[in-house]
Amino acid sequence: MTTQKAFQGSDSLKQALLERLQAHQAAGHLIEELGVWDGTQGSPSGCTVQGDIELYQTQVGISKALVWLYDWLFMTGDPTDRDDFVLDWLRSIEPGSDLHPVETSFVLWLLTDDEYGAGAFGAGAEIDTLLQTLAELHKRLAAGETPPEQQWRDFRENAVAATDRAEDDRNRALCSLIEVLAWPAGSSFTALTDGLDAWIWAHDIQFTQSEGWNEECDKRLEAIEQAAEEQSKIGDNTYDNGVYDKRYAQMLADAPDLSRIISLREQYLKQLAQAIRRQLLDLLSQAAV
């Protein structure tokens, strides 16, 4: 495999791309899309190179899956800090560094990190074993080995069977994570976004349940949402969003047990987003030159 150097080893290319991205950001040209450039505006990757994902991959020296993840994190991020993130992404990369290992390293963080790793959920013997086996496969990739395709295929079959047996949403989310990441790095440019989506879903369920959320809470919240819709309706399928938001907030305030968990959930999801970005920036900055 040929190693592609970040920014083709050029400090001047990095600076030019960073300045271009800053200019597009200041002009309001960044949009919430994936891998898009329309000649004037685009996703962060598109605005950086004024082109498609393949051009970004060539000029920045990063895998398609990470480019897709970069744009996805901008789309799903908190507006208060995502603008800094899109610039810090480029700033963190050293020209000439080898970014190929970053994808596998990030997968391993999702699976094995002491604080956030999926392996710490305690999801039962079958799922815990699958998570451990998946981590071992990616550790072999990180060490330069190539696990046989049949081994990956057999593992995926076991993961699908576990999904069919999963008894709750948290475990189904973990099984989804396992299935999506049960491929070698570079197999799919959507693997990281799909895997991260399942990882966040599992964390979300684990956290809210630990705070006391249950099926009855789901029903009560659904009733609040339906009542807010009815009170804000201005046509058959049209709603006044301002009225909806006001009514929803008023009714939720009358259910302090629900509003407490919802507020804590929002804080926790923001904490997760910050941890994800911090880890990615660390991995990019630590890549060997």
pLDDT digits (tens, 9 = 90+) for 40-62: 999 999 999 999 999 999 999 99
Sorting pLDDT into bands at 50, 70 and 90, what band is 79?
Answer: confident
189 lies in the same domain as 118: yes
137 lies in the same domain as 186: yes
* % the chain with pLDDT above 70: 99
Tens-digit pLDDT profile for residues 256-274? 999 999 999 999 999 999 9
Task: Supply 67's token pair.
Answer: 């480019």
28 lies in the same domain as 66: yes
259 within domain boundaries = no
257 within domain boundaries = no
Q: Please give the pLDDT value at position 172.
A: 96
Contact partners, residue 202, CB within 8 Å, separation at least 6: 118, 121, 170, 173, 174, 177
State mean pLDDT over 199-208: 97
Check residues 196 and 1 and name the one with the higher pLDDT: 196
24 lies in the same domain as 69: yes
Number of domains in the chain: 2
61 within domain boundaries = yes
245 within domain boundaries = no
30 within domain boundaries = yes
Q: Please give the pLDDT value at position 3.
A: 62
pTM of full prediction above 0.85: yes
**pLDDT at 1 > cutoff 60:** no
**pLDDT at 80 > cutoff 80:** no
Write out the residue range of the structural domain in which residue 63 sits: 6-91
63 within domain boundaries = yes
Q: Please give the pLDDT value at position 2.
A: 46
Q: Which of these, 213, 179, 223, 221, lies nearest to 197 by C-alpha position?
A: 179
Q: Please give the pLDDT value at position 66.
A: 97
Domain boundary among the residues 144, 165, 195 is at 195
106 lies in the same domain as 150: yes
Place of tokens 């991020």: 77
Domain boundary among the residues 67, 91, 115 is at 91
61 lies in the same domain as 117: no
133 within domain boundaries = yes
81 within domain boundaries = yes
Contact partners, residue 181, CB within 8 Å, separation at least 6: 107, 110, 111, 134, 138, 191, 195
121 lies in the same domain as 51: no
Please state, rounded to an integer, the average pLDDT across all residues of the chain.
95
Domain boundary among the residues 91, 119, 143 is at 91
Q: Is 46 helix (H, G, I), strand (E, B) or coil?
A: helix
**pLDDT at 141 > cutoff 50:** yes
- Least confident span in 30-44, 71-85, 153-167, 270-284: 71-85
